[in-house]
Amino acid sequence: MTDELASLDATAQAELVRSGEVTAGELVDAALERIDAVDPAINAVIHRFDDKARTVAAGELPDGPFRGVPFLVKDIVCHTAGDPYHCGMQFLKDRSWTAETDAFLAVKLRRAGFVFVGKTNTPELASTVTTEPRAYGATRNPWATDHSPGGSSGGSAAAVAAGLAPVAHGNDMGGSIRNPASQCGLVGLKPTRARTSLGPGFGEFWGPLTHEGVLTRSVRDTAAVLDAIQGPMPGDPYTAPPPEAPFAAAVAADPSPLRVGFRATGLGGVAVDEQCAAAVVATAELLDRLGHAVEEVSPAALDEPVADGYLPVFASALARDLDRWSAATGDAIRDEHVEPWNWQVSEMGRGVTAADYLAAIEQLQSFTRRVAAWWKYHDVLVVPTVGLPPPKLGVFAPEADLSAVLPILTQLTQFLIPFNVTGQPAMSLPLGTSSDGLPIGVQIVGAYGREDVVLALGAQLERAQPWAQRRPAVHA
C-alpha cells in the first residue's frame, strides 16, 4: 500500500481514510518513510515534524475534507506554531528561530484535516526563481537532478512531484507557485488576489503582489484545497469576491464553450523557447477540438514594460524584510548576513522614496486596468507559464552575476509577473514536455475572481490529456 499511496492525490488519500481502508497514522507513517527514502536525492524537506505529526494523526483530527492527509509547508509566510521558521535565511537558521503562532492559512489547513509532516526549502526571502539558498543548499528537480525545480516554492514542488506528499503549500509573489509547477510537472494555481488571507501578520506582503496557494498533482485537489483556505479573516484590508459555488463543483463537468485567446510569442520582444511556444499552440489546438472559440489574440497592454512599477515594490519589500527581521531578532542584519543578490536589491529599495513607491503602485494599477479590460470580450488567456524549459542548477545561484543572468531571468518570468500585478487567477498545467523529457507548463489565466472558469477548463484539459501516470526519474 505504501508504494500505491505515493501515486495517489490528496483527494484519493482522504477517501481511503473516510472509508476506513487506511488510518491517518498510516498515511503519515508512509509519507515519512518516503521522505526518508527519497528526499536525500532532492533535498526538498528541510524541517521534519515526525513526532508531532504522528501525535496529531493519532489524535482527534478535524472532520475536514482532507482528514489525515500529509501536508508540507513552505518555509516562508505561512508560519506554524512552535516550528522552525527561517525563510531561507542563514541568519535565522543560526539563531534557531521558531514561530510562536500559526498563520491564518495554517489554521485553515489544519481545520481541513491536513497533518503537517515537515517544511520545504525556499530561496532566501523567496526572492528568486530557483531554490538554492546558502542556508540549506540546492533542491534538485526530480525529473533531472542537475536541473532546478524552480522557485521560490521549489522545495514544495520537488516534494510533490517525487511523491513525498500529495500536496504542499506555496506562495506566489512573482510566479513562485506557477514557475516550479511548470518545472516539476504539477498543477499550480495562483488564486485571485486576496482570495486567501495573509494574516494575522500581514494585510499585504510585498505590497499587492503576494498570493497563497498549493502545488498539487490534480486539478480536483487544487479546487478542493482552495475551498478549504479561501475567504476573508478579521482585519484583512480587502477580499476577493466570494465564489457563487464551491470551486470543487467547477471541476465536475466540462465548461460551456469559452472565448479563448492564446499567445505563444514573447512579451515586448522578449524571446520564448520554441518548446514552450509549441506547448501553447498544441493546447490551443486541443481547446479548439474541445469546442471552444479559440483565436490568437491577447491583451495589447501585456507588451508594456511592467518592471518600472514592479521593481520599486519588490526592492522596497526586501529592504523591509531585512528591517523586520533585524527588529524581531534584536540583531542588525548586515551585508555578510545576506546573499549578495538580496543585499543588492534591498539597498536599491532603500533608495526608493515614499513618493517613488506610490508612483510605482499607480503604475501597476494603471497596467492592471488596461490588461483586465481584455476579459470583457474573452473568458481565458492561454500563454506559456515560463519562457524556458527548466534551467540547470547554478544558473541563478546566489553567486551568479546578476547582470549576466538578468536577460535569462526576464525570459523566464515574462508571463508570470504580470498576473501578480493584476491579481488575476492563473494556473500552470503540465501539458508540455521538452526534447529531453522535462516538464513544460502552459498557463491558463482568468478574469479577476473567476477561479471557477480556470479550474473548470483545467479539469477538462486534464481529462483530455491526462498526466497522472507520468513520473519523474526520482519518485517514491
Please give the positions annotated as active site.
74, 152, 176
In the numeric block, the cell 478579521 is attached to: 234
- The answer to whether 310 and 417 have CB atoms below 8 angstroms apart is yes
Q: What is the rounded distance in angstroms from the CA atom of residue 140 to the CA atom of residue 155?
A: 8
- The answer to whether 300 and 371 have CB atoms below 8 angstroms apart is no
Give the ranges where 340-401 is alpha helix by DSSP (H): 340-350, 354-372
68: left (phi over 0), alpha (psi -120 to 50) or beta: left
Q: What is the rounded distance in angstroms from the CA atom of residue 428 to the CA atom of residue 167?
A: 15
Crossing angle (nearest 10°) for helices 50-58 and 24-42: 160
In the numeric block, the cell 494555481 is attached to: 189
Amino acid at 69: V
Burial (CB < 10 A; 0-12, 13-18, 19+), residue 371, is: buried
Burial (CB < 10 A; 0-12, 13-18, 19+), residue 433, is: middle
Of the candidates 122, 136, 129, the one whose C-alpha atom is nearest the C-alpha of residue 178 is 129
Phi, psi (rounded to 5 degrees) for 24: -60, -40
CA dihedral 447, 451, 452, 453 (to 10 degrees): 40
Q: What is the rounded distance in angstroms from the CA atom of residue 290 to the CA atom of residue 435?
A: 26
- The answer to whether 359 and 367 have CB atoms below 8 angstroms apart is no
CA angle 187, 314, 335 (to 5 degrees): 115
Please count the other Cβ atoms lying within 10 Å of the Cβ belonging to residue 257: 13
318 grid coordinates: 526586501
Of the candidates 296, 268, 313, the one whose C-alpha atom is nearest the C-alpha of residue 411 is 268
Say which DSSP state 141 is in.
Answer: B
Of the candidates 172, 121, 190, the one whose C-alpha atom is nearest the C-alpha of residue 149 is 121
- For the chain, the first-to-last Cα distance in angstroms comes to 12
